[in-house]
Amino acid sequence: MTKEKIQPVEKKQGSLENPKELVLFNDEVNTFDYVIETLIDVCGHEPEQAEQCAMIAHYNGRCTVKSGAYTELKPPYDEMTNRKLTVSIY
């Protein structure tokens, strides 16, 4: 019986070795429509997904809207901040 040698998996640049989350927080300033529109434009959400995230943030105080490497989350974080939404990367 011959043992098969297992090759190590190469790590891709921007891998999710240390995944982060982009979290949207509820606020009393922005309308649901504005938040939904922003999630569609910035995060690429489908309208139903954006609406669900807006509702979750409203009722739970926060909602993870995107996961990935920090370098992937920084541009949407910056854009959402520019649009006056309260977000953080964890």
| Segment 16-28, tens digit of pLDDT | 568 999 999 999 9
> What's the whole-model pTM score?
0.80
Decide the pairing of beta strands 20-25 and 62-68: antiparallel
Beta bridge partners of 63: 24
Domain of residue 75: give its range.
30-89
9 within a domain of the structure (yes/no): no
49 within a domain of the structure (yes/no): yes
55 within a domain of the structure (yes/no): yes
CA–CA separation, 39 and 55 (whole Å) = 12
Average confidence (pLDDT) over 35-40: 98
Res 13 pLDDT > 90: no
56 within a domain of the structure (yes/no): yes
* pLDDT tens per residue across span 44-74: 999 999 999 999 999 999 999 999 999 999 9
CA–CA separation, 59 and 55 (whole Å) = 6
Predicted local confidence at residue 18, as pLDDT = 82
Q: Give me the number of domains the chain comprises.
A: 1
